[in-house]
């Protein structure tokens, strides 16, 4: 077995938000030397206290690292971090690895791959599913696009953060698989919220009802993880509404390019835009419940 600590001595991480902070921490727990960058330095404090080194620019992370992971918010953030004046590509070393774990557009993943290839750098797109819970417990599902031999080289690092790592195909394929994931979640979240509204109006004991349906054909991750938060009126983010809207927008754009009609996704996007319009962009995706309650004239 390859000793990954000899293969990848220095790790770089850019983006220490709700999920990135935990994912980076798992790598540090395995003893890797870590160089960090995040726009808000205070969000790196817990990792710096564990021994990570903070630097002022993405290019400095790239210069110091054998492999750089990025976990950002929006495609424009990815573009700036990789291709900006002081971005990764201005400091990256030949032969190193760059792994974007952000959910972004397949076309941007392909651009990053092409630019990396020109510089003799190995690029992989590896978006994740599992939210804050999966990030904290290292149980993420990771969908990977890129050259198979490169994916296999970094697989031991991905396995530190996730329990299911699947190579989907060439560059951009990981992002396409993530779009499939988000399409399922979009429709499922409507079902979870509407079932709770129906049960509430029918006068059911909600926990009793959930104990039944979560053990039957309706069983799913969203029901197990989001329904209890909704019942507790906990709308804190495991995954931001504004980021989910970004993902749905990418999927709808890709569907349009492929001449596909996805009416269910379009409806979910419209409902989440209502959450955004009422100031819920920084809430968790379970805040869809607030918009649906308002439509049904339910006040809590």
CA atoms within 13 A of residue 138's CA, in its CB half-sphere: 12
Q: Are residues 103 and 182 in contact, defined by beta-carbon separation less than 8 angstroms? A: yes
Active site (catalytic) residues: 178
3-class DSSP state of 126:
coil
Residues contacting 95, CB < 8 A, separation 6+: 120, 121, 122
Q: Which two tokens stand for residue 76?
A: 């424009």
Q: Which two tokens stand for residue 257?
A: 């390019």
User: With DSSP H G I counted as helix, E B as strand and the rest as coil, what are the percentages for the chain, rounded to 5?
Assistant: 55, 15, 30
- Rg of the chain over CA atoms, in angstroms? 20
Q: Which two tokens stand for residue 72?
A: 């950002």
Q: How many CB atoms lie within 10 A of CB 76?
A: 12
3-class DSSP state of 79:
helix
Q: How far apart are CA 248 and CA 270, in angstroms?
A: 10
Q: How far apart are CA 32 and CA 37, in angstroms?
A: 16
Residue 5 φ then ψ, to 5°: -75, -20
């Amino acid at each position: 077995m390859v000793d990954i600590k000899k293969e990848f001595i220095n790790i770089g991480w850019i983006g220490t938000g709700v999920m990135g902070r935990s994912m980076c921490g798992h790598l540090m727990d395995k003893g890797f030397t870590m160089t960090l960058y995040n726009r808000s330095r205070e969000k790196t404090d817990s990792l710096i206290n564990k021994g990570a080194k903070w630097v002022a620019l993405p290019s400095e992370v790239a210069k110091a690292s054998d492999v750089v992971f990025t976990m950002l918010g929006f495609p424009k953030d990815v573009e700036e971090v990789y291709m900006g004046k002081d971005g990764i590509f201005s400091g990256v070393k030949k032969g190193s690895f760059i792994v974007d774990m952000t959910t972004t557009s397949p076309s941007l993943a392909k651009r990053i791959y092409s630019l990396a290839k020109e510089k003799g750098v190995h690029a992989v797109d590896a978006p994740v599913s599992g939210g804050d819970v999966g990030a904290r417990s290292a149980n993420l599902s990771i969908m990977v696009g890129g050259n198979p031999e490169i994916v296999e080289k970094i697989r031991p690092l991905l396995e530190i953060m996730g329990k299911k790592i699947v190579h989907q195909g060439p560059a951009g394929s990981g992002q396409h698989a993530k779009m499939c994931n988000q399409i399922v979640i979009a429709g499922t979240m409507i079902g979870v919220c509407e079932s709770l509204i129906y049960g509430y109006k029918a006068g059911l004991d909600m926990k009793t009802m959930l104990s039944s349906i979560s053990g039957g054909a309706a069983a799913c991750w969203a029901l197990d993880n989001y329904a209890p938060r909704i019942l507790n009126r906990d709308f804190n983010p495991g995954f931001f509404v504004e980021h989910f809207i970004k993902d749905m927008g990418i999927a709808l754009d890709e569907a349009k390019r492929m001449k596909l009609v996805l009416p269910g996704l379009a409806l979910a996007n419209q409902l989440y835009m209502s959450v955004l319009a009422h100031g819920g962009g920084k809430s968790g995706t379970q805040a869809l419940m607030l918009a649906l309650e308002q439509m049904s004239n339910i006040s809590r």
